[in-house]
Amino acid sequence: MVDVNDFVPQGAPIVRIRNIEQRAGLEQAQASLREAQARFIEAEAEYKRIRGVYERQLVAKAQMDSVTATLNAAKARLEAAQAGVTQARESLGYTIINAPYSGIVLERHVELGESIQPGKPLMTGFSLDELRVVVNVPQRLIGPVRQHRQARCCAEWRNSIAAEKLIFFPYADPQSNVFKVRVYLPKKTGGLYPGMFVKTAFRVGEDQRLTVARSALVQRGEVSAVYVVKEGQVNLRQVRPGRTEGDQVEILAGLEAGEQVALDPIQAGVYLKERPQIGGQ
């Protein structure tokens, strides 16, 4: 019902097996159920009639016991017939294979008209709902990585993604001495596909860094600067930026902790140009 590269939602039928025998079994079970229901209604009516006569002591107890046994037998046959219908419907349901998860069909292992047996692969697909990244971590870093258990994955065209959980392989590769780590991404993470490469950053410790908002950084040629606000005055000061993480930029030199910077460099520049005119007035 689907082919390679088709997207299939969860629960959608992907393979239908010829079900003539199973459908005939269901029809037979349903006919047996209708017969059992009729027998039960008949036995129940006879039981009520004899019971009313027995309460007036017009029939023997043996006859009352006989209709009671007939009713119980009819009830048991009815329950068996109901179970037979349930089993037949389940057998018929086995002839339709539904997608266990939403995803894309990667390979089809059967052709139309081919006979199959239990255990034979039918289709292979991959899900985009739950993705994980496999990373090789050097032996010298596996200790702090295990301790902190935090990671972020980043592709070149999107922001980093915090991992939901990490699973560590209990042994190192004897050839390369690296440990394999599975990094599980949040469900329905968009923009990533199986087989792609991404960068993974693990937390291995803590350090204090001086950072400013990326919007506060002014770039003029090769010079980076920020507008520093101090005692009501605004001054442009050259700084040396470092790494950028999200909307924060590390400042390696030119700024001290606690100093205030203008988050809107354009407004700060306008203020700086107009300040002498305001002072002259």
CB 105, CB 12: distance < 8 Å: no
Q: How confident is the model at residue 35 (pLDDT cuts 50, 70, 90)?
A: very high
Higher-confidence residue: 274 or 192?
192
Alpha-carbon gap, residue 73 to 38, rounded angstroms: 13
On the question of pLDDT at 281 being above 50, the answer is no
Q: What is the mean pLDDT of residues 110-133?
A: 86
Residue found by looking up tokens 């003029």 in the block: 220
Identify the pLDDT of residue 276: 56
Q: What is the mean pLDDT of residues 79-103?
A: 90
Cα first-last separation, the chain: 82
pLDDT digit string, tens, across residues 166-219: 999 999 989 999 999 999 998 888 788 888 888 899 998 888 888 888 888 888
The identity of residue 51, as a single letter, is R
Q: What is the mean pLDDT of residues 99-127?
A: 87
Alpha-carbon gap, residue 182 to 145, rounded angstroms: 12
Q: What is the mean pLDDT of residues 52-64?
A: 85
Which DSSP category does 25 fall into?
H
Segment (H or E) for 26: helix 20-55
Higher-confidence residue: 13 or 222?
13
Residue among 21, 17, 23, 24 at smallest CA distance from 120: 17
Alpha-carbon gap, residue 139 to 177, rounded angstroms: 6
